[in-house]
Amino acid sequence: MSTATARSALRQSVARLMGEVVTGTPDTNLAVGTFGCAKLAVYANDYFNDWFGRFYEGTHLNTDFVVTDFVATAGVVSFDPDLGTAVDATDLFEMYPDFTPAEINDAINLAISMVEEEALQDKVDATLAVIASTFEYTIPTGFVYVDQIFQEESTADRYSPSGDLIDYRHWRVLHGSTPKIWFDNNYVSLTTDRNLRLVGQAVQAQLSLDASTCAISKAYIIYQAKANLHFSRVDEQNDAHWNKLQAAQALADIERKRIRVAGRGRKVSF
């Protein structure tokens, strides 16, 4: 499994594949509807007009805007809508011409959902506390498979693979609207107030914030998101978006073959 990548980095990579992306740090003309960035001064007046932008770090993190005017001198960008407070030097920005940040974010999340049960993620949870005379417990949210269950030792937060692993034959998953773990009390001795440590797998969560991270292969995500974006613009077979869709999808399919992780243990839901 690849190193986790932040949504903002994925979005900028997708935007770059779609054509062009510009990033930077505001350094002059800081106001609620303008900012300047010296490195933009090399572009012509009005170059960025109607581009879509987003602050992906800083005071106005996760805020979108549309460029209404660009002046090359000092690289001044005017945008809508106005912010509640002035742009400041912490507000790292990105801008691109053809797709909105929301469209790119949605394309990334769709790419994730397309492989969510192929690119399984390791998951561990130790929040279940044993209740006296109780042998059924609601499985914490997020688990797709549960592979191992340990019971905490008398020392808090200590779990031994040799002595605390509950035999796989003596528990099972009860399926339903609220999946539960059932323990066979003929063979399992649970100690009140000790925690249970569940080890299994989960799907990659959808990315809701720019700081949210994705552990699925970055190459797969950006190629599949690119294909998804072109698909949203296809008017007819063999138009420009159709042809670019086919190329991006072919690359995504190659990467998809490399990300499969087999499920381990008992399936939580069907």
Q: Is the pLDDT of residue 1 over 60?
A: no
**pLDDT tens digits, residue range 227-241?**
999 999 999 888 999
Share of the chain above pLDDT 90, in %: 93
Q: Is the pLDDT of residue 106 over 80?
A: yes
So what's the pLDDT on residue 63? 97
| Domain boundaries along the sequence of the chain | 20-97, 121-202
Contact (Cβ atoms closer than 8 angstroms) between residue 42 and residue 53: no
In sign, the C-alpha dihedral spanning 262, 264, 269, 270 is positive
Contact (Cβ atoms closer than 8 angstroms) between residue 222 and residue 107: no
Residue whose pair of structure tokens reads 């469209």 in the numeric block: 103
**Which long-range CB contacts under 8 A does 38-45 form with residues at least 24 apart?**
38/74, 38/75, 39/75, 40/70, 40/72, 40/75, 40/77, 41/72, 41/73, 41/74, 41/75, 42/72, 43/70, 43/72, 43/75, 44/72, 45/70, 45/71, 45/72
Nearest to 217 by CA among 108, 144, 123, 143: 108
Q: Is the pLDDT of residue 256 over 70?
A: yes
Contact (Cβ atoms closer than 8 angstroms) between residue 150 and residue 130: no
Residue 256, both tokens: 């998809």
**pLDDT tens digits, residue range 194-214?**
999 999 999 999 999 999 999
So what's the pLDDT on residue 270? 65
**Alpha-carbon span 129 to 172, nearest angstrom:** 18
Q: Is the pLDDT of residue 7 over 80?
A: yes
CA distances from 1 to 5, 33, 108, 141, 214 (A): 12, 42, 18, 22, 10
**Alpha-carbon span 236 to 131, nearest angstrom:** 61
User: Mean pLDDT, to the nearest integer, of 31-54?
Assistant: 98
Contact (Cβ atoms closer than 8 angstroms) between residue 183 and residue 135: yes
Using only the alpha carbons of the chain, give its radius of gyration.
Answer: 25
**pLDDT tens digits, residue range 139-154?**
999 999 999 999 999 8
Tell me what the pLDDT averaged over the chain comes to. Answer: 95
So what's the pLDDT on residue 2? 54
